[in-house]
Chain A
Amino acid sequence: MNHDTYSDDYIRSILNGVKSIAMVGASPVEVRPSYFAFKYLVQRGYDMIPVNPGHVGKSLLGRPFVASLADIGHPIDMVDIFRSSAHIMPVVGAALQLDPLPKVIWMQLGARDDDAAAKAEAAGIRVVMNRCPKIEYGRLSSEISWMGVNSRTISAKRAPIPTQGMRLSLNRTSVGGGATAASDRAAKNKSELS
């Protein structure tokens, strides 16, 4: 499948479909993007599991760190990888050892490994690369619009007032689908150059 851009329906079905997310590379440092995303996804009602061998024995927002995906010990729906592109393949390898397999492997903003994606897809796993689930959730729910960000969705429906732990409706009308055309082109040029 094409990983330069994703339709909103693809992202929407993933974010609506998964309940448990193991975040590989989750950091307890409050200024790291992984901490931001972990906290947001907890607030939006996902069952989050922090995976980071450097922090075993500690917990993140009350959820104990595990050293590896194999240590989770129960089925998970999605693996969210907060590692740079060079470190993706071993994590995907470990995810493919899980039984049952996760339904989704998600690589964070800036992370992309097409070979690893192909391996996961061959095993029937859906893949997202170079995106942030916090940004995508905020975008499709339009919560990110508070920041002046183009959600690329419109709606004439009255939305509920978000509260702690509440899942938001992501079923707004899409305007562009995925990223804007220009930012998609720039990302594609960058990945071809690197």
Chain B
Amino acid sequence: MTDRLPGFSTLAVHAGAQPDPTTGARATPIYQTTSFVFNDADHAASLFGLQAFGNIYTRIGNPTNAVLEERVAALEGGTAALAVASGHAAQVITLQQLLMPGDEFVAARKLYGGSINQFTHSFKSFGWNVVWADTDDVGSFEAALSPRTKAIFIESIANPGGTVTDIEAIAAIARRAGVPLIVDNTLASPYLIKPIDHGADIVVHSLTKFLGGHGNSIGGIIVDAGTFDWSKGNKYPMLSEPRPEYHGIRIQETFGNFAFAIACRVLGLRDLGPALSPFNAFLILTGIETLPLRMQKHCDNAKAVAEYLSGHKAVAAVNYAGLPGDRYNNVARKYCPRGAGAVFTFSLKGGYDAGVKLVSNLKLFSHLANVGDTRSLVIHPASTTHSQLDDAAKVKAGAGPDIVRLSIGIEDRDDLIADLEQALSA
């Protein structure tokens, strides 16, 4: 007997959602409430003891957020997920389950500038030490491992753009080292790349970007692949050892292949507190329903704009993996045949000054610090998102002084190209 499997677009609309049992409401209601009544004392105790499925308090879980969690878990092919207040919160909560003070994690050097800051500075005060590796040199991940390494962290398509990561090669290193591979899949979205299919154990997202897709809500999510065995060798005590805050429950033993997502919820979110507003969850859910349509248009537009720019006489280089001849084109063909994403960078022959002038001349592109909006966006990373890095680190992160980053929206591509044309010739 075989189960007939719905496709990606069906899951994007339906997964996690069903008509409301009380009212029959078909769209997912916004359960804008802090708390949920218990049936009786035993029900309350069962919920607090993690023995029953149900809702207690929106800092720990909420029915609107739960629909979002199940939907993203389904789209990524994971066993469970936890929605949180932002992509940064997702990273803190993920690593809190894995690292103790003095532990290390290996991270790709090409990351969103905010993640580089978080890992370098904020996490240092928790005693979590990041060791950097080079996405373009897979061997550097192996070299960065130590007995204290607890995880490897990469982006599938790296911000500020252009780089597509060989996830399988790095997953093989993580597997040999006995540590989970965490993949930030924000810039690809599961429509382009499903990291779990390539060996990721944990996927994190900033929902703020393509998943929400409309530039209206901050959110983050952690997806548990259900692939990692946390029980070995007392290496991950948050999951394998009895938890005193739950009277001695062992999370892995009790929750099996979705134990990591539960640990993130009941040990991470519950105590650190960055809960997602149900209203944001609703807006993001609505966005996800059109993810396949939007993402394809984003990618098709981005390729057209990248092709236009690469033929322009004022442009020194375009870093877009979707272009034939780009250094990441072969990797992109393997991992994201539908498109290489919609965020990429280019450099102008006129350097820093020409970049600043271009940004101010554009009329349709919005100058702001976000990506993955329906609207096309432009920014100069060296003076903004990556400004806290020194010059050498900026270049290594792909955010040198002459680099301009675009996030291509879903407008008509001819209008985008016309705007770039007038701005470059102004």
| Chain A residues with a Cβ under 8 A of chain B | 7-10, 30-31, 33, 35-36, 39-40, 43, 109-110, 132, 135, 138, 142-152, 154-161, 164, 173-177, 179-183, 185-187, 190
Contacts and interface: CB of A to CB of B under 8 A. Distances in A.
Complex A-B, nearest 9 residue pairs according to Cβ-Cβ distance, in ascending order: A183-B226, A148-B69, A174-B3, A177-B3, A150-B73, A186-B227, A158-B19, A149-B80, A154-B14
Among A138, A149, A150, A190, find the residue whose CB has the most chain B CB atoms closer than 10 A: A150
Given A175-B15, A182-B226, A150 B70 contact: yes
Contact of B226 (A7, A143, A186): A186
Given A40-B52, A152-B74, A30 B18 contact: no
Among B5, B51, B81, find the residue whose CB has the most chain A CB atoms closer than 10 A: B51
A36 B226 contact: no
A104 B74 CA distance: 30
B227 A135 contact: no
16 contacts: A110-B256, A146-B66, A147-B261, A148-B73, A148-B80, A150-B258, A154-B10, A156-B18, A156-B19, A174-B5, A180-B78, A180-B226, A186-B226, A186-B227, A186-B228, A187-B257
Interface in B243-260: 246-249, 253-254, 256-258
B54 interface: yes
A67 to B, nearest CB: 25
Interface residues of B, number: 62
A28 to B, nearest CB: 13
Contacts of A154: 6, 10-11, 14-15, 18
A143 B254 contact: no
A148 B265 contact: yes
Given A39-B46, A154-B6, A156-B18, A148 B253 contact: no
Among B18, B61, B249, find the residue whose CB has the most chain A CB atoms closer than 10 A: B18
A51 to B, nearest CB: 20
B247 A31 contact: yes
A149 B1 contact: no
Interface of B: 1-6, 10-11, 14-16, 18-22, 24, 39, 46, 49-55, 61, 63, 65-67, 69-70, 73-74, 77-83, 196-197, 225-229, 242, 246-249, 253-254, 256-258, 261-262, 265
B77 A180 contact: yes
A138 B50 CA distance: 14
A179 to B, nearest CB: 6
A173 B246 CA distance: 35
Nearest to B255: A135
Contacts of A173: 4, 6
A148 B254 contact: no
Contacts of A186: 225-229, 257
Contacts of A176: 3, 5
Contacts of A143: 53
Contacts of B1: 7, 9-10
Given A31-B249, A148-B80, A149-B79, 16 more contacts: A36-B51, A36-B254, A40-B51, A138-B53, A145-B16, A146-B55, A147-B53, A147-B61, A147-B258, A148-B81, A149-B73, A154-B15, A157-B19, A158-B18, A159-B19, A182-B227
